[in-house]
């Protein structure tokens, strides 16, 4: 019977062409939309984890309560012992101490006088002497996390103490070249003035406007020396080694660690999970609801369109249905055959639409869309190139509206079969 119905659909294009095209287009848009929304969500998580939050982050409790102002006077002391403890408790994790600080960058002229000056956001990272974890096979360096190699615009990474990287927009504004000398003016851990000269090693472009405008990156040891933070760091970022940890597992990890620390010490190390930082958990929940609502509305609209298509098909086939009833077919059999036809149309359209949608999503995943023109003045950590992301669910999500909406539309429009009165069939056939 399935072969018979399939032959009928293939031979009568008026019954199959428009429905299949409608299903294919709707499924393709659904798959592409899912991939796009999934890619934006993953980009938000990845960008925040790399630059601002880590998958987990260890700070002093006092620092965590005031982290918006980067209070290095509340930094973690005895950071080497804290790192050693973290490596022993969580050996499969990568732990990277960092210092973030604000300050001024002063550019001298040929006479040593100030030629240009502006504010910067400074980062102290382990660039020259990284601390290896206990389980070395899981190690990922800061250079890999920040993806420095492809981000280099000019010059090179710091190769010795006293060298820094600058974001390329900052370097353009200050008219700097690799090899130039700059002075960093800031505040030490003990509220004194910090003044330190550095040599510009190179320029980087992260593709995030908030970073590319005013970031300075130096080796952690240089920043500790300049800010008088010997054996102290602002934060320790944690990244999983061989597995992906998300949600509740991160919170459980944070709970175990925090419960083991003295509760009456405001400078005790405190581990905070990714979802609990910067309102990211609530933001992702809202994003999930938003994505569901968009896809649900699209499914509803698609169901209405296919319902109307099925209704028009049913009206066109009014005489055919009457003849089939007149020769003895039951209402239920005809109704069942219409549902089978709708199922075949849904499957054919879903397969072709999924292939089309995956092709478009793959293109956006590979090349992305440049939104830098809209992000010039935003403080948000959003990449200039936004990409889609194909997952396993992308291969099946299109079949939900593709087959479901098609069968639903046929089921609703086909109810008119049961309103046909057999007693009036011969009068209709005579006319």
Report the predicted TM-score, pTM, of the whole model to 2 decimal places: 0.76
Distance CA 292, CA 290 (A): 5
Per-residue CA distances from 211 to 52, 216, 284, 379 (Å):
11, 9, 22, 9
Helix (H/G/I), strand (E/B), else coil: 242: coil
- Residue 12 confidence (pLDDT): 57
Are 153 and 205 in contact, with CB atoms under 8 Å apart? yes
CA dihedral 90, 96, 100, 104 (to 10 degrees): 170
Q: From start to end of 364-424, where are the E strands?
A: 369-370, 385-386
- What tens-digit pLDDT sequence spans the chain (431 residues)? 555 445 555 555 555 667 778 788 888 888 888 888 888 888 888 888 888 888 899 999 999 888 888 899 999 999 999 999 998 898 888 899 999 999 999 999 888 888 999 999 999 999 987 766 544 556 678 888 888 988 899 999 999 999 999 999 999 999 999 999 999 999 999 888 999 999 999 999 988 887 888 899 999 999 999 999 999 999 999 988 665 556 678 888 888 999 988 888 888 999 998 888 877 777 777 777 877 787 777 767 766 776 666 556 655 566 666 666 667 667 677 777 777 777 788 888 889 899 999 999 999 999 888 776 666 665 566 677 888 889 888 898 888 878 877 777 777 767 766 665 555 555 555 55
Per-residue CA distances from 392 to 24, 257, 294, 361, 387 (Å):
19, 34, 20, 13, 17
Q: Which two tokens stand for residue 212?
A: 């590319």
- List 152's β-bridge partners, or say none: 204
- Residue 328 confidence (pLDDT): 67
- Residue 381 confidence (pLDDT): 63
- Residue 199 confidence (pLDDT): 95
- Residue 334 confidence (pLDDT): 72
Distance CA 184, CA 46 (A): 30
């Amino acid at each position: 019977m399935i072969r018979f119905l399939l032959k009928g659909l293939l031979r009568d294009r008026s019954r199959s062409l428009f429905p299949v095209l409608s299903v294919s287009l709707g499924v393709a848009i659904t798959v592409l939309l899912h991939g796009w929304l999934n890619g934006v969500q993953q980009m938000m998580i990845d960008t925040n984890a790399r630059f601002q939050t880590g998958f987990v982050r260890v700070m002093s409790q006092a620092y965590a309560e005031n982290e918006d102002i980067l209070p290095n006077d509340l930094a973690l002391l005895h950071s080497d012992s804290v790192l050693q403890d973290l490596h022993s408790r969580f050996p499969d994790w990568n732990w990277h101490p960092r210092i973030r600080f604000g300050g001024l960058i002063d550019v001298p002229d040929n006479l040593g006088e100030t030629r240009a000056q502006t504010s910067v956001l400074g980062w102290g990272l382990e660039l020259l002497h990284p601390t290896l974890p206990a389980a070395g096979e899981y190690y990922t360096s800061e250079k890999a996390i920040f993806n420095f190699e492809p981000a280099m615009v000019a010059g090179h990474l710091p190769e010795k103490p006293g060298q820094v990287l600058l974001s390329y927009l900052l370097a353009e504004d200050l008219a700097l070249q690799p090899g130039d000398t700059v002075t960093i003016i800031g505040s030490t851990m003990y509220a004194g003035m910090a003044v330190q000269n550095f040599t510009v090693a190179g320029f980087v472009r992260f593709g995030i406007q908030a970073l590319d405008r005013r970031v300075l990156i130096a080796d952690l040891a240089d920043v500790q020396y300049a800010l008088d933070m010997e054996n102290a760091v602002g934060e320790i970022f944690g990244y999983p080694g061989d597995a992906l940890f998300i949600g509740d597992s991160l919170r459980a990890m944070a709970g175990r660690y925090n419960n083991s620390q003295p509760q009456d010490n405001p400078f005790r190390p405190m581990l905070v999970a990714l979802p609990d930082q910067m309102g990211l958990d609530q933001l992702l929940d809202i994003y999930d609801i938003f994505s569901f609502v968009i896809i649900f509305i699209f499914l509803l609209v698609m169901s209405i369109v296919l319902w109307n298509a099925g209704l028009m098909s049913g009206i066109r086939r009014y005489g055919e249905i009457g003849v089939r009833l007149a020769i003895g077919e039951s209402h239920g059999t005809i109704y069942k055959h219409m549902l089978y036809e709708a199922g075949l149309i849904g499957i054919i359209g879903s397969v072709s639409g999924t292939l089309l949608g995956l092709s478009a999503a793959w293109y956006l995943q590979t090349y992305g869309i440049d939104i830098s023109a809209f992000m010039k003045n935003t403080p948000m950590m959003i990449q200039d190139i936004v990409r889609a992301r194909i997952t396993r669910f992308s291969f099946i999500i299109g079949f939900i509206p593709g087959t479901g909406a098609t069968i639903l539309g046929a089921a609703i429009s086909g109810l008119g079969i049961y309103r046909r009165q057999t007693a009036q069939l011969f009068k209709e056939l005579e006319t």
